[in-house]
Structure 1
Amino acid sequence: MQPLIHRAALLRAELHRPPAFNLFTLLRSSSDEVRLHSRYLAFLLNPQGAHGAGTKLLQLLLAALNIEGFDCTEVTVEVEYRNVDILIRNSKRQAVIIENKLYAADQDAQLHRYLQTLQGEGCQTYPPLYLTLDGRDADRRSCLGIDYQRISYANDILPWLEQCQQWVIREAGVRESLLQYIDLVATLTFQNQGHAYMDALKQTLRQNNNLLVVRDLQKAFVETLKDLQLEFWQALAQCIKDKYPELPKPSEAPTAEVVDRYYSATRDNRWYGLYYDLGFVQGSVYIELDHRFYCGYYCDAQSHPTAHAWLATLTQNVVNNGVGSGGLLWRYTTELNMKNPSDEDLMVLNEPVKRAQAVERMADDLYGLWGEARALYAAQG
């Protein structure tokens, strides 16, 4: 095993390309679905956009996705229209819905609801486009049996972006931004390494019994991720206890069994975490995991309607990334992706200092939500 790992380490040092400067990640989170990806994609798809390519970029995507019959004259492209990530419509009332999902969880009846909304407005709709990094299926609770088209950043958006380059070459600012965005998408989809590095690794794997060793290493990698995640949860709980002793003990906390299930193929293996009762009113603050960590409020509306209504009002005045199926806010609290961690994520998980910094930021975010609710409760007497 040692010669294989040693050889791979040498190849990485020699041929692996570290992340280059990228203006998008400097200004925004690389996984900001709405304010980065949806807005930039909508800009490219908008025939009136400053890219100067007219309808060509939109036509290229429609052709790549085999969407036929859509009239590209008098087109409008909107972001977050009735919560639809990207909506493309024309004067003939034809509509293309794009649901952009990098890491966020599907909401109940989400795709189904968007389709009904547009059809209710008299639009002729195509099957919604469900856009993810790797082309995964939508949750059945989101689509409720409707027909939809799976597309991915890796296999659909990245090739389309590369096609777009020749059509924006005269607009220097757009050309450079497109190059940066292509680099960002390639990084997110693990396609940012040159052929030399991958070819050298493949040749190494074909030597001796290295393929068998790699299969063992793959299993060990997943098992190590389980250990690191459980240690991360434990460190987070300890940080909250030490830094914010006024919070109660968590009413729920992840176990080794829960973390193990997260990396399995079973359904309903997400949405777990640390939950702390508010104490002064029914409900709780929490940090949960989908593929990324997020924090929010929880209260059962049926059991505690008054408290739920109070927290729902608070939700409208606190910065958030969205509202969950329970009607209360949630917002991301770290960039870590626990399902498909990037190189940077692995370094944070494995290096004590970086891990402690991430844990403390998350503890501060959770306490911030608790403090917002506590301050409003005190102000209302």
Structure 2
Amino acid sequence: MNDEIELFGDSIALVNEIYHLSDISNLIDFDEINKLTVSFMSIYQTEKNKLPYHINILDLLWANENANSRIFAELLKQKNDNKSEILHSFLCYLTTQNADFNQRPVKPQITSEKERIDILVIDKDFAIIIENKIHDAVDQVSQIARYIDKVKKMGFKETQIYFIYLTKYGNKKPENQSWINENGTNYRELFSKRYFQISFRHDILPWLTDYVLPNCKVKDVYLKSTIEQYIDYLEGMFNLRKINHKMNSELQKHIKEALELNSTPEKNHYKLTNKLSQLIKVEEQIKSMLQSTEKECWNSWLRQLKIDFPNLVTVDYVNAIKFPKVGVIIEYNGYKFAILIEKETNIYYGIGRHEASAELNEEVKSFLKPLLEGFKETPWWYGWKYTTFENGYGSLKVLIENVLIKISVHPNQ
């Protein structure tokens, strides 16, 4: 607990510094936050220790955006007597958001992470792209436009394509650049009537709770269990679990006393808004620092590759606006391939044909197969897998070393 308090103390010190530099003098003295943080964490820990035992497998697995996309996609795939009941319910819900939307499932196909699209629903006469931003990931360059173009290449007309921007609370909007493709076409206005901005908090959670779960059949034990777990997971994310009500009440009571929220609702609202704006200011600075730190990671990895593998040709796309990547080129039996770490929305690594060949080679594919168990194959990749900035270079290095060892043992097969 002391570590948590020290961490919050450091954060508050940063808030003070930012506001001092910004010369914002009309807000409540933020020094009081230091005292509030220590007392808040003390009460939080006390109340948390009183909570009954609670376990949710998604909490334990730290489900990221990709995991949430896979879960949501699997729910939409559900069928009973060849009827896509959950998908039908979801499309009906979309109609409540846009009366002009009247699509219903006929022969739907649902994929997750295909062509890097989080969730894609395609049917006879329509396609729905779902971009999941549950953890507020930034939009990549031309991200929405690229996804639309990919679906158009599948044979769908522009007027048959719908786009859903699914965020945590519904207040995050796509960046304008995300709508513009490499040819300069801006899809924002073109999709104004086929665009949905919905949230997990105000749309998905109530829909699951009020419409999906109550209509689960008794025989669908595992489906019901999955939905219950996912609802509980989302309730935990938004601090809505019933077991947390007493703790939340105590914490809010403490904040009310500490901020002296004993005046009119208008004045209380002013105090809370100012306090929240201070915290948002810190968040903005941290996000800016995060982007700079990512750039430092790419440069560091490139330098380390040259140290760890001095005899290999390196791939350097550190400064690429779209798909930054670093890696090495390796040759086997006269065929070249690349071992890379790359980022689109998320970061991933693997073995591909980038900077090496026009297409995947069957001999190379066969040779690499034992090393790529658990990796996903695409037209660009012999195999790729998600990673993190913390573990990315280590995973990349191990993969390169394993390939070099295999080549040394079996130089020609």
Q: Same fold (TM over 0.5)?
A: yes
Q: Which residue number in structure 1 is paired with residue 10 of structure 2?
A: none
Answer whether contact 1:132 1:151 (CA < 8 A) is retained.
yes
Answer whether contact 2:36 2:255 (CA < 8 A) is retained.
no
Superposed CA offset, 1:291-337 (max 9, x none): 64322457654xx546x75599649953435759x667542114x8x
Superposed CA offset, 1:62-112 (max 9, x none): 33333556364x7333222985734263xxx44341424345964862223
Superposed CA offset, 1:177-213 (max 9, x none): 2121112234556766655367447636743978656
Superposed CA offset, 1:93-142 (max 9, x none): 4434142434596486222331452536xx98252334344554272256
Q: Which residue number in structure 2 is paired with residue 99 of structure 1?
A: 130
Structure 1 segments unaligned to the other structure (5+ residues): 259-267, 337-358
Alignment of 1:5 onto 2:37: yes
How far apart are the structure 1 equivalents of 2:382 and 2:179? 22
SS across alignment from 1:75: coil
SS across alignment from 1:110: helix
Answer whether contact 2:76 2:110 (CA < 8 A) is retained.
no
Q: Which residue number in structure 2 is paired with residue 176 of structure 1?
A: 225
CA distance 1:371–1:187, change in 2 (3 Å): farther
How far apart are the structure 1 equivalents of 2:213 and 2:307? 55
The alpha carbon displacement at 1:158 in A equals: 1.7
The alpha carbon displacement at 1:374 in A equals: 3.3
Rg: which structure is higher?
A: 2
The alpha carbon displacement at 1:235 in A equals: 12
Answer whether contact 1:96 1:129 (CA < 8 A) is retained.
no
Q: Which residue number in structure 2 is paired with residue 109 of structure 1?
A: 146
How far apart are the structure 2 equivalents of 1:115 and 1:79? 16
Alignment of 1:39 onto 2:39: no
Q: Which residue number in structure 1 is paired with residue 121 of structure 2?
A: 87
The alpha carbon displacement at 1:18 in A equals: 10
CA distance 1:108–1:9, change in 2 (3 Å): same
Matches for 1:143-154 after TM superposition, within 5 Å = 145=187, 146-147=190-191, 148-149=194-195, 150-154=197-201
Alignment of 1:57 onto 2:93: no
The alpha carbon displacement at 1:161 in A equals: 1.0
More displaced stretch, 94-103 vs 308-317: 308-317
How far apart are the structure 2 equivalents of 1:131 and 1:312? 41
| 2:206 partner amino acid | P
How far apart are the structure 1 equivalents of 2:186 and 2:239? 31
SS across alignment from 1:119: coil
Answer whether contact 2:130 2:164 (CA < 8 A) is retained.
yes
CA distance 1:253–1:60, change in 2 (3 Å): closer
Q: Which residue number in structure 2 is paired with residue 352 of structure 1?
A: none
Superposed CA offset, 1:136-184 (max 9, x none): 4272256951514233323321221122222227454433321211122
How far apart are the structure 2 equivalents of 1:288 and 1:61? 36
The alpha carbon displacement at 1:4 in A equals: 1.9
How far apart are the structure 1 equivalents of 2:161 and 2:360? 37
CA distance 1:13–1:28, change in 2 (3 Å): closer
Answer whether contact 2:129 2:161 (CA < 8 A) is retained.
no
| 1:167 partner amino acid | N
How far apart are the structure 2 equivalents of 1:236 and 1:188? 34
SS across alignment from 1:129: strand
How far apart are the structure 2 equivalents of 1:364 and 1:311? 28
More displaced stretch, 367-376 vs 185-194: 185-194
| 1:140 partner amino acid | W
RCO comparison, higher one (Cα < 8 Å, 6+): 1
SS across alignment from 1:76: coil
More displaced stretch, 146-155 vs 16-25: 16-25
| 1:185 partner amino acid | L
Matches for 1:211-226 after TM superposition, within 5 Å = 215-220=277-282, 223=285, 226=289
The alpha carbon displacement at 1:366 in A equals: 0.8
Answer whether contact 1:297 1:311 (CA < 8 A) is retained.
no
Q: Which residue number in structure 2 is paired with residue 277 of structure 1?
A: 328
How far apart are the structure 2 equivalents of 1:294 and 1:253? 15
Answer whether contact 1:297 1:328 (CA < 8 A) is retained.
yes
| 1:128 partner amino acid | F
| 1:109 partner amino acid | R
Answer whether contact 1:97 1:126 (CA < 8 A) is retained.
yes
How far apart are the structure 1 equivalents of 2:56 and 2:200? 18
Identity of aligned residues (%): 13
How far apart are the structure 1 equivalents of 2:239 and 2:317? 32
Alignment of 1:140 onto 2:179: yes
TM-score calculated relative to the size of structure 1: 0.61
The alpha carbon displacement at 1:6 in A equals: 1.7
Q: Which residue number in structure 2 is paired with residue 166 of structure 1?
A: 214
Q: Which residue number in structure 2 is paired with residue 354 of structure 1?
A: none
How far apart are the structure 2 equivalents of 1:100 and 1:127? 11
2:404 to 347, 355, 374: 374
Q: Which residue number in structure 2 is paired with residue 131 of structure 1?
A: 166
Answer whether contact 2:44 2:251 (CA < 8 A) is retained.
no
SS across alignment from 2:98: coil
Structure 2 segments unaligned to the other structure (5+ residues): 1-30, 262-270
Superposed CA offset, 1:262-297 (max 9, x none): xxxxxx978557x34346587754444556432245
Instruction: Let me know the Cα RMSD of the aligned residues.
Output: 5.2
1:76 to 87, 107, 114: 107
Alignment of 1:331 onto 2:385: yes
SS across alignment from 1:178: helix
TM-score calculated relative to the size of structure 2: 0.57
Answer whether contact 1:321 1:331 (CA < 8 A) is retained.
yes
More displaced stretch, 174-183 vs 31-40: 31-40
